[in-house]
Amino acid sequence: MQTFAIPTFDTIISHPHPLKILAIGDSIIYGYGDSEGGGWVDRLKRQWMLADNSGHVIYNLGVRGNGVKQVSDRLESEFRQRGELRNRFPDALIISVGVNDTARLGHSNGRNFTPLADFETEVAHLLDNSLRLIPNQPLQDRVLFVGMVPVDEEKMPFSNSLYFSNSDQYQYKQVIKQACQTRNIPYLDIFDLWCKRGTNWCRQHLSQDGLHPNSRGYQALLGDILSWEPMQKLGLVEAI
């Protein structure tokens, strides 16, 4: 079985001022399916809370069932309430959302929850608002996007009514990827990364519902995120 090393606590860079990071999105941010660690965001938060660690702060702003529009609607309010001190705002924003928009309603050929054309518009709005709140800087991107994981189609429907497919996942994630590239927002293509590891690997890292990562999956996801160069450039983890 292929394994992926998580950077040790010693690899976290000592930052002169601990950073405040917002992680906003859907159930993959929330950590649904990880009964051991609470998801990749909470796993990272616990690392940063250890004595003699960086002291960085990460807020878990994941809401199960959210689509791109719901995240966009609450983004500014969430952002402005997380500075902790007057006239202070978060230092970086990690977004992960989109899978719920792909769901087909009622049957495998039903309409998507969010039609693709509407999805393109909503993604553009979300990304533009994100850059307005926290602009990227030369040599340091402060808005990052973590893509969706593939699904196990044999486990569908989800909740007896929602059908997710990897063909829809691919089509919708390509919209996000292109929108991020247009705006110079780093995009971590988790879908492609996991698919390259094979169907069996993916199934071993997904929950019984076929939609959310399990504990092993969230551990692997955290490893992928901490190995990602934009995270290292932010000073959140040493290059490995």
Neighbours of 152 (CB within 10 A): 17
Question: Hey, is 232 helix, strand or coil?
Answer: helix
CATH number of the CATH domain containing 82? 3.40.50.1110
114 belongs to a structural domain:
yes
The rounded distance, in Å, linking the Cα atoms of 88 and 66 is 27
Dump pLDDT digits (tens) for 86-107.
557 889 999 999 999 999 998 8
Residue 239 in domain? no
Residue whose pair of structure tokens reads 């990364």 in the numeric block: 193
The encoded tokens of residue 114 equal 């969010």
Residues of the chain with pLDDT below 70 are: 1-16, 51, 83-87, 138-139, 238-240
Number of domains in the chain: 1
How far is Cα 102 from Cα 162, in angstroms, rounded to an integer? 10
* pLDDT at residue 137 in the model: 77
**Domain presence at residue 240:** no
pLDDT in tens, 187-230: 999 999 999 999 999 999 999 999 999 999 999 999 999 999 99
Token pair for 118 = 């509407």
Say what the pLDDT of residue 5 is.
46
Amino acid type, 100? N
Residue 127 counted as domain residue: yes
Please report which residue ranges of the chain form alpha helices under DSSP H: 27-30, 40-49, 68-80, 99-102, 116-133, 166-182, 190-196, 199-204, 215-226, 229-233
Q: What is the pLDDT, as a whole number, of residue 139?
A: 63
Determine, yes or no, domain membership for 3. Answer: no
pLDDT score for 9? 36
pLDDT on residue 6: 46
Give residue 215's pLDDT: 98
- Give the global pTM: 0.89
Is 2 a member of any domain?
A: no
Supply the pLDDT for residue 85.
55
Q: Which domain holds residue 127?
A: 9-233
Residue 60 lies in a domain: yes
Q: Determine, yes or no, domain membership for 238.
A: no
pLDDT value at residue 235: 77
